[in-house]
Structure 1
Amino acid sequence: MSTDGWKNFGRYGADRDPGNVHGKFALGRALEDALERMIIEGGIKSPPTTRRGLMARMNYLMSHKGGAQALADAGITAVPATLRAWKNGTQQPRPANLDAIDTAYWNLRARNVLANPAVFKAHLNNAGRGTKVEIHPVNQDQVDEPRRRDNLRIRPLQVRYVWDDAVDALVDGDADALEGIWDDIIADLDSDWGAYTYVSYIGLGA
């Protein structure tokens, strides 16, 4: 399949596989996945069923702005004295309340991380080293057989300099900006870069 065939996506059947999408959409998903990993990996490791895990979650919720609302949104109606007892580890919540506390904690942590995109930018910039991007070509199973290409493969790239703009585009929901960023990324491939305008998956090593 020629590069033009990928540019005119769907002419030969690549669009029959719903997993084949424009790189800008796959990049957006990859950024969301990387953000979720950063939120989880930087969070409290001890489960809420342990005294340590409960106290850590309650300390976070009671010391950060929005914690009380996060607890209320998760369904916690306990009085302040009970909240302090949970925070100090002198009283154990019922299982349903433990689940609600865990939900409130992760929701608040995610909200706080999203409110400070500079942290995510720094994570992806990696002190100037950038982030590894793994580009999976479109799945050609549904492409007309004479138009399939045997030489497409997973392409790894170490990508720098685009992550501030990429995070801004993600936060703003700006698909046009993500498209421009994706064009910049695949421009570092060889003359076959057009074959990666559409992809089946993008993975970020962050």
Structure 2
Amino acid sequence: MSTDGWKNFGQYGADRDRGNVHGKVALGRALEDALERMIIEGGIKSPPSTRRGLMARMRYLMEHRGGREALAEALADAGSSANPATLRAWRHGLRMPRPVNLEAIDTAYWTLRARNVLANPQILKDHLNNGGRGTKVEIHPINQQVVDEPRRRDNLRIRPLQVRYVWDEAVDALTTGDITKMEEIWDDIIADLDSDWGAYTYVSHIGLGA
């Protein structure tokens, strides 16, 4: 298939695999995955069932805006509640909550952490910019097995790229849902490939090393 064939994606069966998508879609998914990893990997590591884990979660909830409300909501959803004295005992590790309350504390913590990270896109931008070093992008070509045999490109391979300078705009496009901008960014990224860059307009997966 020539590069021009990708302008009519699906003409030769590539759309038979729903995992084959435009790079702008795959890039958005990869950014969402990176954001989720950042939320989890940057969070509290100690399990909530340990004194250390409990105290860390309670400290976060009590010291961050919206934390008390998030905890009260999680407790209410669990059919429970806690008075100020109980909250202090939990915070200082003097009393271990019942399992249902412990789960509510953990839920409230992760909900609030995700909310705080999402409210500050600069955190993700800095993470991806990596001090100017950028982020490794691994581009997986579409699944060729669903393409009509005479039109397959079995020589396509995974292409790694170290990508810089696009991440601020990419995160802004993600947060605003600007799919047109995401397409422009994807075109900029694959322009760094060789003359066969058009074969990566559509992909099966994009991995971010962040």
Bin for the TM-score computed over the shorter chain: over 0.9
Q: TM-score, normalised by structure 1?
A: 0.98
* Residue correspondence of structure 1 range 42-191 to structure 2 within 5 A: 42-76=42-76, 77-191=81-195
The root-mean-square deviation of aligned C-alpha atoms, in Å, is 0.9
Question: What is the CA-CA distance between 1:174 and the residue it aligns to?
Answer: 1.0
Unpaired segments of 5 or more residues in structure 2? none
Q: Does 2:27 align with 1:27?
A: yes
Q: Distance in 2 between matches of 1:6 and 1:49?
A: 53
TM-score by length of 2: 0.96
Cα distance in 1, alignment partners of residues 73 and 168 from structure 2: 32
Structure 1 unaligned segments of length 5 or more: list them.
none
Q: Is the 8 A contact 1:14 1:140 kept in 2?
A: yes
Please tell me the residue identity of whatever aligns with 2:106. Answer: D
Equivalent residue letter for 2:44: I
- Offset, 1:69: 1.7
Amino acid at match of 2:52: R
Report if aligned partners of 1:133, 1:204 keep a CA contact under 8 Å in 2: yes
Q: What amino acid maps onto 1:132 in structure 2? A: K
Letter in 2 for 1:159: V
Identity %: 81
Query: Aligned residues, how many?
Result: 206
Q: Distance in 1 between matches of 2:181 and 2:170?
A: 8
Deviation string, structure 1 residues 53-98 (Cα, Å, up to 9, x no partner) = 0000000000000101211232352112111110011111111111
Structure 2: distance between partners of 1:141 and 1:103: 42
Write the letter of the residue equivalent to 2:55: M
Question: Which amino acid is the alignment partner of residue 17 of structure 2?
Answer: D
| Counterpart residue number, 1:7 | 7
1:196 and 1:69 map into 2 onto residues whose CA distance is 46
The one-letter code of the counterpart of 2:30 is A
3-state SS, counterpart of residue 75 of structure 1: helix
- Most deviating of 5-14 and 67-76: 67-76
Q: Is this contact kept in 2: 1:44–1:57, CA < 8 A?
A: yes
Query: Which 4+ stretches in 1 moved above 4 angstroms?
Result: none
